[in-house]
Amino acid sequence: MAVSSATFILFGATGDLAHRMIFPSLYNLMGDNLLPEDFLIVASGRSELDDAAFRKDIDRTLQEFLAEGLYDSARAAKFVGMIIYCAANVGDDDQFAALARRVEGREDKGFAIYLSTPPSLFAPTAQALQRAGLTGPDSRIAMEKPIGHDLPSSREVNEAMAAIFDEERIFRVDHYLGKETVQNLLALRFGNMLFEPLWNSGAIDHVQITVGETVGLEGRVSYYDGVGALKDMVQNHLLQLVAMVAMEPPARIDSTAVRDEKVKVLRSLRLMDEKSVLTHSVKGQYGPGAVNGQIVTGYADELGHASGTETFVALKVHIDNWRWKGVPFYIRTGKRLPSRQSEIMIQFKDVPHSIFATKGKGLEPNRLVIRLQPEENIRLLIMAKQPGLDREGVELREVGLNVSLDTAFAKTRRRIAYERLILDLLEGDPTLFVRADEIEAAWTWVDSIHQGWAASHMKAASYASGNWGPSSAIALIERDGASWHD
């Protein structure tokens, strides 16, 4: 493994993500002695602040956002003591030069640069860093999604970055890959003999992936409107889940082997067009309603005007390769749904021949349900005989083989996704980050849907908050004789 970066340079340090996730993650890593010796955090934002004011702000942040029981004032004092603040605005090279002076002499110990800024600043920030001499061979750079808003713009970002850093030093964050349960998909599929022989069109009828959220816009109007659920959630998080479920076994867990397999899946997604979007996609927008017993307003009311942006999307996805021939992946995600719930459901086929057909009842195909959040568990639904004398025939019933990962690993602290990702960035392991070709393959497919929507003038159907999207989302799957696993 490459040497751990001893300097973490964070742009967008005064922003929401930095406060909620990045600083608490760094604090937790420090608490577990996982940060290198002589670690320095250079926090950078647009406003002028001095070190003391910023440190105070981070101390408050830790008290607010750390999980219960993790804040310790002595530890927090040590942590904020590692932070210095440097204002830097793109376009002001003097500020970047001043930042460079504050980290002078530390180049050999490696810089981990983290861009938690609006995407329009990614390339200009990297270029300003290059002019300030901070992008040498021991520098790595991480950036948050979105990388572009379509294929051409994502290529522009990727090319601008590639002119400064080689691919192994570029860390595109998709925080779903930092979630323990998402990585657990690798353990489940490739650490067990049980599943893989059945993990194909021979035994699987279809796959469902749901990422449901109860929240609405949450003050993100300016970002979200015009973006919508397809670009905000499907292009990245849901497609990464599809790739993890559908990929071929990689030869090793390393950044090339894993990402080579994922990109093959993304390139096999069947593109949509003006006609197929009508039968393979549903877009919705939440109206007023109630979520968890609370009355909430609709999207347009929150926004203050009417909008065509979708806050819900459901898709029937085909992966055109040998393994998944004829196995649809139904995926859906939305805001203001009835519950915060993310899960993957593998629906197996019927047994080839039922010995219970004439003398018995209740036979159902197996299902494997992998719950990612809020709780983490795996349930395999299998057929069992109802106890009794069977005088009317064998009565079968579905029972669950349940594995609660929360219980099995009750003594292990569940880390936030960013802890893992930041540690991997510091240590230079890009396996859980998204490679340029994955981003571009994902955009190629998402663009085909957007173009199909535009050409067919498809509108977002309204759904009352607190429902699982518009009724057409139910029809999308029920037309095929299946139903959503709610």
Residue 310 binds ligand BG6 (CB under 6 A): no
Binding status of residue 232 toward ligand BG6 by CB under 6 A? yes
Q: What's the rounded Cα separation, in Å, for the pair 319 and 241?
A: 13
Determine the residue with CB nearest ligand BG6.
232
Minimum separation from the CB atom of position 401 to ligand BG6 (A)? 26
Site string for ligand BG6, 78-117 (x = CB under 6 A): ----------------------------------------
CB 405 within 8 A of CB 417: no
If one asks whether residue 440 binds ligand BG6 (CB under 6 A), the answer comes out as no
| Contact set for ligand BG6, span 160-179 (CB under 6 A) | none
Kind and range of the H or E run holding 261:
helix 255-267
Separation CA 203–CA 4 (nearest Å): 44
Residues involved in catalysis: 237
Cβ 237 to ligand BG6, closest distance in Å? Answer: 6
CB–CB of 11/121 below 8 Å? Answer: yes
302 binds ligand BG6 per the rule CB under 6 A: no
For 24, 69, 415, the CA distances from 64, given in Å and listed in that order, are 10, 11, 17
Distance CA 80, CA 68 (A): 19
Is residue 376 close enough to count as binding ligand BG6 by CB under 6 A? no
Nearer to ligand BG6, 16 or 254 (CB): 16
Site for ligand BG6 in 445-474 (CB under 6 A): none
Kindly determine how many residues on this chain lie close enough to bind ligand BG6 according to the rule CB under 6 A. 2
Asked if 419 is part of the footprint of ligand BG6 (rule: CB under 6 A), the reply reads: no
85 beta partners = 43
Between 213 and 438, name the residue whose CB sits nearer to ligand BG6: 213
Q: Are 75 and 62 in contact (CB under 8 A)?
A: no
Which of 57, 59, 138, 213: binder of ligand BG6 (CB under 6 A)? 213
Minimum gap (Å) between residue 211 Cβ and ligand BG6: 6
Closest to ligand BG6 by CB, 138 vs 213, is 213
Q: What are phi and psi of 389, to 5 degrees?
A: -90, -5
Q: How far is the CB of 236 from ligand BG6 (least distance, A)?
A: 7
Residues whose CB is less than 8 angstroms from the CB of residue 294 and which lie 6 or more positions away in sequence, other chains included = none
- Give me 159's structure tokens: 């090319």
Tallying the residues shown for the chain, one arrives at 486
| Minimum CB distance to ligand BG6, residue 241 (Å) | 11
Q: Which helix (H) or strand (E) holds 344?
A: strand 341-348
Q: Could you list the residues that contact ligand BG6 (CB under 6 A)? A: 213, 232
